[in-house]
Copies of this chain bind each other. A is one copy, B any other.
């Protein structure tokens, strides 16, 4: 038999050869460097047998991502072995140490255990020390294919019901494999489909156990609670350090924590999960974002509309949300024999507004915008702060245009995205062309195969012509057409799926939307769905984390806190508030009985950009003294100059402040 190498060369190998044998056949140098393989494009370990005609590429240290995956997977086994050793060393019977699964996850790995006692954070140190010993022992990993009966017998004997269940659930045609590291006594054997590095010594030394937490077996709250030990692993000390900084930073910036501290939003048990209440400070941010969107959209020729939040069932049957989107919708309200639904999207309503008047080609493009609130019933387990909610106010718009206008309109939307990224200082973003999957036609995608291909081509061409980098992904489209999904990275490198620019070739036809063209013929417009500012929920969640609550002046809920030194300065403080308000700046006076330092600290907790101290000197001179989070402290600044300074930056929506000239 033979295999095919990356350069296309055929290499003859013996029947039953493994990837390791192929590496050895290619050359001793590669065999020494080999730590894994890619068989027919999928990641495997060197122990994996190759089949006749297989495409084989050998993974070495140079293939960092692949290698890291293998190492993390092996580290999960090393972790399991270490925990078992620890338990046995403590005198527990090996049969009392039961194990679930141990997969690779983003940044690392975990393993689920059912143990005779609870692990504490302190145990992690001891476990990690044992792991390092196992790594230092450089145990070889051996892969064996085991008949189903033998595999079941092995784990039944070990008294491990989880492994037994896993084997029982495997389809009949799947080969069952064990991975053993070290010998039967000193080592460890696990049910696993691989892949792994060849020896425990081949894992990266840059790993760390991070936490232990409860997790239901198979995520099912009716099944036993396991103990899940998490670890991280990277190829270099720098990567590990950067990751740890990111994690700490993400914790510090967590929008749920800051959202509470900065009085931005709350969730309430009586209202329900995923249904945030916006406090006054959060509402200021919403209002500022809406003002921004309105300005940008006015300038770009959008027209604003408003639509109700619920509708009769027949609207969603017409749009196709029923049945294609039914899983994400709240259930019906039934009254007088009519079923009403809260809207999961605004589009059907905008289509109705389009259809409410006859349209001519002269009216196109027609761009209808609305910050519409939608309702989607996300699984309660999937809900997360503002990032995944059940009620969302969307920066929505629908652009109806001719096919000739499509490319220009599509790119104008992309330009709008880029303008927002610039404004918020988002330097890193990726655009993905999300396409349909042919086997989803008629199920999650409208069943018009030729239109799918054609519109996907149109989007691809528009993006390519404009020179905008993007990648493609199958089976990620909306039910009515392909879309560009935008992934952005926050200041600390966290990824957010922000918003989409979608082409809709299905709904305009379903809604009988037409326009009369130059030749007096009825035509069906194309529709673009777009939401560059995403939803208020996700956008503000992102902005909190991106800016760590230190918002640019224009977005800060409270822009100036005024601290009068004595009671006689309270009236002038309120006058200053009025002068600031007259140019649209938001200021508050702290007239409480607290000491001045306490007042300044309070303003700092709210991350108020400017704290103005007002005493005799300032009131007499008509000046202010201020501290700022974004420029050096100053005294003796004439009030008018201070107000102009702030107003100019707020108006320009500057991200940083040009310090006031002295």
Binding stretch for chain B, among A172-180, A201-209, A274-282 = A274-282
Binding stretch for chain B, among A40-48, A328-336, A563-571 = A328-336
Residues of B within 8 A of A298 (CB): 581
Confirm or deny: A467 has a beta carbon within 8 angstroms of a beta carbon on chain B. no
What is the copy number of this chain in the assembly?
2
How far is it, in angstroms, between the C-alpha of A271 and the C-alpha of B314 when the chains are bound? 8
Q: Is the Cβ of B331 less than 8 Å from the Cβ of A331? A: no
Q: Is the Cβ of B306 less than 8 Å from the Cβ of A353? A: no
Q: Is the Cβ of B268 less than 8 Å from the Cβ of A286? A: no
Residues of B within 8 A of A268 (CB): 315, 352, 356
Confirm or deny: A189 has a beta carbon within 8 angstroms of a beta carbon on chain B. no
Binding stretch for chain B, among A105-113, A246-254, A373-381, A481-489 = A373-381
Q: Is the Cβ of A270 less than 8 Å from the Cβ of B333? A: no
Interface centre among A271, A278, A349 (most CB of B within 10 A): A271
Q: What residue in chain B is nearest A334 (Cβ atoms)?
A: B331
Q: Is the Cβ of B310 less than 8 Å from the Cβ of A330? A: yes
Q: What residue in chain B is nearest A360 (Cβ atoms)?
A: B592
Q: Is the Cβ of B309 less than 8 Å from the Cβ of A373? A: yes
Residues of B within 8 A of A373 (CB): 308-309
Q: Is the Cβ of A352 less than 8 Å from the Cβ of B277? A: yes
Confirm or deny: A617 has a beta carbon within 8 angstroms of a beta carbon on chain B. no
How far is it, in angstroms, between the C-alpha of A287 and the C-alpha of B310 when the chains are bound? 21
Q: Is the Cβ of A362 less than 8 Å from the Cβ of B592? A: yes
Confirm or deny: A311 has a beta carbon within 8 angstroms of a beta carbon on chain B. yes
Q: Is the Cβ of B263 less than 8 Å from the Cβ of A279? A: no
Across the interface, A356 reaches (CB within 8 A) one of B279, B305, B309, B334, namely B279
Confirm or deny: A342 has a beta carbon within 8 angstroms of a beta carbon on chain B. yes
Confirm or deny: A420 has a beta carbon within 8 angstroms of a beta carbon on chain B. no
How far is it, in angstroms, between the C-alpha of A336 and the C-alpha of B391 when the chains are bound? 17
Residues of B within 8 A of A315 (CB): 268, 270-272
Residues of B within 8 A of A284 (CB): 304
How far is it, in angstroms, between the C-alpha of A318 and the C-alpha of B306 when the chains are bound? 31
Q: Is the Cβ of B287 less than 8 Å from the Cβ of A304? A: yes
How far is it, in angstroms, between the C-alpha of A311 and the C-alpha of B273 when the chains are bound? 9
Q: Is the Cβ of B277 less than 8 Å from the Cβ of A357? A: no
The 8 tightest CB contacts between A and B, nearest first, are A280-B303, A278-B306, A275-B308, A272-B312, A308-B391, A270-B315, A266-B356, A283-B304
